[in-house]
């Protein structure tokens, strides 16, 4: 009789006070929203190395405007001497690991003095002049919950002037022209960046 009474009392309480009725474990469990990593860690500082990269070999900074958009900049040393760059990066996913496309501009200050190179005894003197570039890349970015981040990309860098190599002395061979064009002019890009996000 006592058990029947309490069962009836609980049923009446549930009808009269529905908000105060006992909840099951399933009812009390609410879904947990996972905040995108680039919304938690919006700033990234690191180093970047590679060929025709945004900064050559140097410091790289990235700011997450949204989980799907980053602005990147930095400076370093390259064949064109001191190099700076700025680009926008569009992330396909908001997750920790995402493919991306990016586009931007780079600028090399040019060498201060004259350099030399030799090919089978043919010595020439040359200077790298100011070097503006446009760059487009595709790549992968990974940021862990602890802050470690890694980014790699491939693409193309286009020199925005007819030529940035000035021959000061001598006549370059075909091999020398090819090497200088590959090193200082338009060409494929490949980069690896490691850093910390905060």
| CA separation for the pair 124, 177 (Å, rounded) | 11
Residue 16 lies in a domain: no
144: which DSSP letter?
A: -
Q: Kindly state the average pLDDT of the residues 76-98.
A: 96
- Which pLDDT does position 94 carry in this prediction? 95
Q: What's the structural domain count of the chain?
A: 1
- Which pLDDT does position 34 carry in this prediction? 84
Residue 192 lies in a domain: yes
| CA separation for the pair 89, 151 (Å, rounded) | 12
Identify the helix (H) or strand (E) that includes residue 145. none
- Which pLDDT does position 89 carry in this prediction? 98
Q: Give strand pairing partners of 89.
A: 70, 102
Residue 78 lies in a domain: yes
Measured in degrees and rounded to the nearest 5, phi and psi for residue 170 equal 90, 175
> Cβ distance 157 to 187 under 8 Å?
yes
Residue 6 lies in a domain: no
Residue 157 lies in a domain: yes
Residue 9 lies in a domain: no
Q: Longest C-alpha distance within the chain, in Å? A: 113
- Which pLDDT does position 14 carry in this prediction? 52
Give the burial class of 57: count Cβ atoms within 10 A of its Cβ; 0-12 exposed, 13-18 middle, 19 or more buried: middle
pLDDT tens-digit readout, 72-83: 999 999 999 999
Residue 28 lies in a domain: no
pLDDT tens-digit readout, 17-73: 455 545 554 554 556 668 999 999 999 999 999 999 999 999 999 999 999 999 999
pLDDT tens-digit readout, 116-174: 999 999 999 999 999 999 999 999 999 999 999 999 999 999 999 999 999 999 999 99
The CATH number for 126's domain is 2.40.160.20
| CA separation for the pair 77, 44 (Å, rounded) | 20
- Which pLDDT does position 13 carry in this prediction? 46
Provide the domain limits for residue 142: 38-197
Residue 3 lies in a domain: no
């Amino acid at each position: 009789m006592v058990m029947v009474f309490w069962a009836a009392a609980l049923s009446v309480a549930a009808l009269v006070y529905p908000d105060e009725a006992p909840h099951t474990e399933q009812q009390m469990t609410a879904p947990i929203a996972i905040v995108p990593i680039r919304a938690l860690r919006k700033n990234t500082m690191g180093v970047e190395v590679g060929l025709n990269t945004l900064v050559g070999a140097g410091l790289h900074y990235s700011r997450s405007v949204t989980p799907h958009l980053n602005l990147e900049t930095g400076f370093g040393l390259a064949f064109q001497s001191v190099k700076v760059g700025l680009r926008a990066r569009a992330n396909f996913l908001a997750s920790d690991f995402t493919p991306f496309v990016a586009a931007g501009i780079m600028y090399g200050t040019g060498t201060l003095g004259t350099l030399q190179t030799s090919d089978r005894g043919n010595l020439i003197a040359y200077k790298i002049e100011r070097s503006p570039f446009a760059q487009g890349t595709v790549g992968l970015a990974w940021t862990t919950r602890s802050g470690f981040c890694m980014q790699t990309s491939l693409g193309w860098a286009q020199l925005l002037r007819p030529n940035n190599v000035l021959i000061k002395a001598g006549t370059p061979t075909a091999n020398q022209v090819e090497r200088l064009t590959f090193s200082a002019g338009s060409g494929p890009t490949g980069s690896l960046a490691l850093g910390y996000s905060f």
